Amino acid sequence: MDRFEYSTSNLQPNESYILRSYNIKLYDGDNKTLFENGELILTSHRLIWFLPGSNNYLSLYLKYIVYIEEEKPNVFMFSKSKRLNLYLIEPPKIRPPGPVSISSFNFIKLSFKDKLDIEFVNALNNVVQQKKWETVELVQKTDVKPPIKFRTGIVGIERSLEEKQKATNESISVAFQDLNKLMLMAKDMVDLSKNISTKIKDKQGDITDDETIKFKSYLLSLGVEDPVTRDTFQSDSEYFTQLANEICRIIEKPINEVSGIMVLTDVYCRVNRARGLELLSPQDFLSACKMMEKLKLPIVLRQFDSGVKVLQLASQSDEVIVDYIQSLLIQSTFLTAENLAKILDIPVILAKERLIIVEKFSKACRDESIEGLRFYPNKFLEDLYAFCFFFLLPMNSINFETEKQYSPSQWCSRHRRSDKVEQNHIENVTKLSQDVKNKFQCESNILFYQYQNPFSVSLDTIMTEMEELVEFLLEIGNARNWSSLWLGGHSAGAHLAASILCCNLRFSISGFILISGIYDLRPLINTSFNAALKLNDNSAKKLSPIFKFSTVLGAPFNNKILLVMGEFESPAFLEQQQRFAQEFIKIGLKIKTEIISNADHFQIVEWLNDENYSLTKIIIEMIRAES
C-alpha cells in the first residue's frame, strides 16, 4: 500500500481515461484496509481509487505493477474469484506522500464486491502491457525516430522474454497453489490418522481386525511414520514376500562370489540397477529383507553390533569364520581391516566387523594407534599350572672354543648342522608338552611363560620378571591349596631357578630341580652371547648364583635340590655343575647330583615324557618323598 500516493483527479499530460469500476476494496497484501466501497478508475498511467463523494484520491502508478493475477478461490469457496492480486516493485525512497508510508507486503489486492469485472481485468492487462508511460518518455528523450521501431527492437525482445517468464511463473504458481491445497488436505488426514492410531493403542480390540488392517494400509500408503503399524503390518504383506523372493533371486549368485556376505547398501544398489524401472525405496527394501528369515530363504539379514546391516548366506556360521581368521592372524602376526579385506576380497567395512567378532570370541587382541587399528592373535592363554618349568631355547653361535662348549647345539653329536638341532629340539619339546598336557589334568602341568626377548632387555629385568612370576604362582598356590611348589629349569632356565634360590622367595618353594644349568656367568663374557647379555665382570658376579651362597645359609633344603647333567654335555657345563655342587657342600646342605647316561643337553629333557626315564623317576621320587 505504500506505493499509493495522494493525488487529484486531474489527468496528467498524455494520460487517457480508460475504464471505471465500482465497489472496490483495497487490501494491503493479505490485510484489509479501511479503503472499501470505492470507485476505481483505470487510466493509461495509473489506477485511481476514491470514495464517491470525497475529494481524496489515491493513485497507483501502473509502472509499479509487475504482475497481475486472479486470486484462486479456496476449495471451500464455491463462488468465482473476486479478487485481483497486483504484485508491485519496490517504491522509490523519495516519493510523494501516501496513505501508508511503509508496507511489508509487495502486493495489493483489489476486491470486487460483486464479481470480478472481466472487462476491467482485461483492460488493466492491456494497459500495463502497453506501458504508455514508457513510450512517452522515450519519445521525449529521442526526438529522432518514431518510437515504434524501438519497441520492436531491444525493448520488444525484453518484453517478450518478460512475457514468457510471466507465463512460466503463472503455471508454477498454479502448481504451487494446487500443491498447497493438496497439502492442506493431507495435513488434515494425517492429524485424523494420528488420532485414530492413539485410540488403537489405548483400547486395542475395540476396532475389528479388518478395519485395523485397512487403517494401517492407509497409513502405509500415505507414508506416515507410525510406530503402531510399522512392524506388525508390514511383516504380513504379500508384496514384501514377493519382493524378498525377488531380491534373493537377484543377489544369490553375486553373494556367493564374494564369500557369502554383502553390505546392505551394496545389495540395494545392485537390486535397483537390476530393476531399472520401478525402483525400490529403502524402507520397502529393508522390510523385504527382514522377511527373509521368516520365509526360510537361503539368504538372511543380519545386523552387527555397530549397526552395520548385511545380507549373509544362512549356511555360514560364525565359528568357522572365526577359526579361519584366527589362523590367518597367526600366520601374518597382525592384521588390519584393510589387509584382511584384500586377502578375503570383501569390503573393508565387513573385514572390520569380522575382526571385531573374532575379538569377541577372545581369539584376537586389538591395538589402536595413530597408524590405525590392528589385531593380534591373543597370546594370553587360559590354563594355569602348578609345576613351573623354565625353558629357554639355545641360541645360534659362531666358532670359538668357549663358544662351542657353551653352545649345546654345536656340541650335540646327533645332528650335522647346529641349527637343525634347535629346530628339532623345539619340535620335540612342543610335541612332548602337548602330550603331557593331554595326559595330566591337574597335578603336573607345564606353563609356558613368554618373557621378553632376551636380546632386547637386560638380564636384570628378566630376573625381576621371574621373581614376579614366582610370587604370582605362590599366590595362586595359596588360593588353590597346593601342597607344594617345585621350581625347575633347564639350561638358562636353571640359572634363573637357581637365582630364585638365592633370593627371599626361596622359603616358600618346596624344592628345586636344576637341569644342565649355568651358575657362573663369567665365562660367557668372552662369547657371542655377551652381545645380548652385555655382561662385565661385576655384573656377571652379581647375577651368578654361585656367588650368592652367603644368603643360602640355613635354608631347609636338605635333599630338596637336584642338580643333574647329561653324560654327553660339554665339559664346561659339567664343570659348572660340579662347582655349584661344591658350594652346597661347603655350607653343609645335602643335595642330589646326577649324571644321566647317554643323554646330551637336549635329550635330557626330551625324554622326560617317558615314564621309565631315569630322570623322571628320580624327580617324582624326590617330590613324593618330601610330601
Query: What are the Cα distances from residue 2, in Å, to 8, 94, 106, 107, 108?
Result: 17, 12, 9, 10, 10
Q: From CA 394, how far away is CA 306, in angstroms rounded?
A: 47
Binding flag, residue 337, another protein (CB under 8 A): no
- Shortest reach from residue 221's CB to another protein, in Å: 4
> Do residues 365 and 359 touch, judged by C-beta distance below 8 A?
yes
Tracing cell 623345539 back to the chain, one arrives at 426
Q: Which of 213, 286, 532, 618 binds another protein (CB under 8 A)?
A: 286
The burial class, CB within 10 Å (0-12 / 13-18 / 19+), for 350 is buried
Binding flag, residue 190, another protein (CB under 8 A): yes
DSSP string, 458-476: -HHHHHHHHHHHHHHHHHH
Long-range pairs for 354-360: beta carbons < 8 A, 24 or more residues apart: 354/321, 354/325, 355/325, 356/304, 356/305, 356/306, 357/304, 357/318, 357/321, 357/322, 358/322, 358/325, 358/326, 358/329
Largest CA distance in the chain: 143
Q: Which stretch binds another protein (CB under 8 A): 12-20, 302-310, 470-478, 484-492?
A: 302-310
- Shortest reach from residue 188's CB to another protein, in Å: 7
Nearer to another protein, 341 or 514 (CB): 341
Binding flag, residue 273, another protein (CB under 8 A): yes
Q: From CA 309, how far away is CA 326, in angstroms rounded?
A: 23
Nearer to another protein, 241 or 484 (CB): 241
Q: From CA 69, how far away is CA 79, in angstroms rounded?
A: 17
Nearer to another protein, 222 or 587 (CB): 222
Q: From CA 388, how far away is CA 407, in angstroms rounded?
A: 24
Residues binding another protein: number (CB under 8 A): 59
Binding flag, residue 465, another protein (CB under 8 A): no
Q: From CA 582, how far away is CA 331, in angstroms rounded?
A: 48
Nearer to another protein, 58 or 341 (CB): 341
Q: Which stretch binds another protein (CB under 8 A): 51-59, 105-113, 190-198, 539-547?
A: 190-198
Name the phi and psi angles at 366, rounded to 5.
Answer: -100, 155
Binding flag, residue 426, another protein (CB under 8 A): no
Q: Which of 163, 188, 318, 621 binds another protein (CB under 8 A)?
A: 188
Binding flag, residue 263, another protein (CB under 8 A): yes
Nearer to another protein, 53 or 307 (CB): 307
Nearer to another protein, 224 or 432 (CB): 224
Nearer to another protein, 228 or 308 (CB): 308
Q: Which stretch binds another protein (CB under 8 A): 301-309, 452-460, 552-560, 582-590?
A: 301-309
Residue type, 410: Q
- Shortest reach from residue 185's CB to another protein, in Å: 5
The burial class, CB within 10 Å (0-12 / 13-18 / 19+), for 84 is buried
The burial class, CB within 10 Å (0-12 / 13-18 / 19+), for 78 is exposed
Q: Interaction with another protein in 227-246: which residues (CB under 8 A)?
A: 239
Binding flag, residue 281, another protein (CB under 8 A): yes
Going by C-beta distance under 8 Å and a sequence separation of 6 or more, which residues neighbour residue 173? 69
- Shortest reach from residue 224's CB to another protein, in Å: 6
Q: In which element (H, E) is residue 149 found?
A: helix 147-152
Binding flag, residue 135, another protein (CB under 8 A): no
Q: From CA 21, how far away is CA 37, in angstroms rounded?
A: 11
Site map (CB under 8 A) of another protein, residues 347-386, x = contact? --x------------------x-x-x--------------
Binding flag, residue 187, another protein (CB under 8 A): yes
Binding flag, residue 249, another protein (CB under 8 A): no
Q: Which of 228, 280, 328, 457 binds another protein (CB under 8 A)?
A: 280
Q: Which stretch binds another protein (CB under 8 A): 64-72, 112-120, 276-284, 383-391?
A: 276-284
DSSP annotation of 379: -
Q: Which of 100, 157, 172, 330 binds another protein (CB under 8 A)?
A: 172
- Identify which of 75, 71, 9, 73 has the alpha carbon closest to the alpha carbon of residue 46: 9
Q: Which of 222, 384, 398, 587 binds another protein (CB under 8 A)?
A: 222
Q: From CA 326, how far away is CA 358, in angstroms rounded?
A: 7
End-to-end CA distance of the chain: 113
Q: Which of 34, 144, 277, 553 binds another protein (CB under 8 A)?
A: 277
Q: Which of 272, 378, 428, 508 binds another protein (CB under 8 A)?
A: 272
Q: From CA 499, how far away is CA 593, in angstroms rounded?
A: 18
Q: Which of 148, 175, 320, 398 binds another protein (CB under 8 A)?
A: 175
Q: Which stretch binds another protein (CB under 8 A): 51-59, 126-134, 222-230, 391-399?
A: 222-230
Residue ranges binding another protein (CB under 8 A): 171-172, 175-176, 178-183, 185-190, 192-193, 195-196, 199, 206-207, 211, 214-215, 218, 220-225, 239, 263-265, 268-269, 272-273, 277-284, 286, 303, 306-309, 349, 368, 370, 372
